[in-house]
Chains A and B, each alone.
Chain A
């Protein structure tokens, strides 16, 4: 029920005094209300729940954490996956 799907804003429009947008979800496009997103821009990624964007995806944070996870991956590759290590602290 609380699922929100990340999608890209591909068009902006105004209707009934509400900021609305067309959101692309990997090829499928639907309308969403953008009233809760300050200064939405075409190309922004937003998390959409029941037709409302509830947050903007922070691209820098996403890249940073993913980089961190990927680096953990590489370190493990070097160490060897089955090698025992001290307890992580």
Chain B
């Protein structure tokens, strides 16, 4: 893996690494629609975690090389129990290691951007002090926000689709377009490139 050791220094650190984590994507219309919208976009590297590591045995070197090679790290997942699906947590635990992502010598992610795209089953109203989930999405995503902070990354305002399972096709299509636009805004503009 020469990428893993030299990737940080090469000027090729551009584009978005889109990490999708859904254990049963075949049953998620919303995540499929979002992924489909972002997948073919130029400058986006798409990584389907549950498809790549069905047995949870993550290849750390490959993953770290991929992180080094991109300027933006985007995490797309359904909110499960107010947190990430298990494999995404495993991926963070195993790949974002001390000495790589954080700590005195861990500067591989410094200056990069962390962008979270999240779907929820419940409606937006539920994520409110007076809703049945009692806290806002910002509050639920604090662990990831702090992760970005510790790694010296820029925290991008999250992209959230509420009530994902009850939206009709037209609504989902609109969300997908909105998602595509957000991703495009994270890519370097043509004049910069």
Specify whether A and B are partners.
no
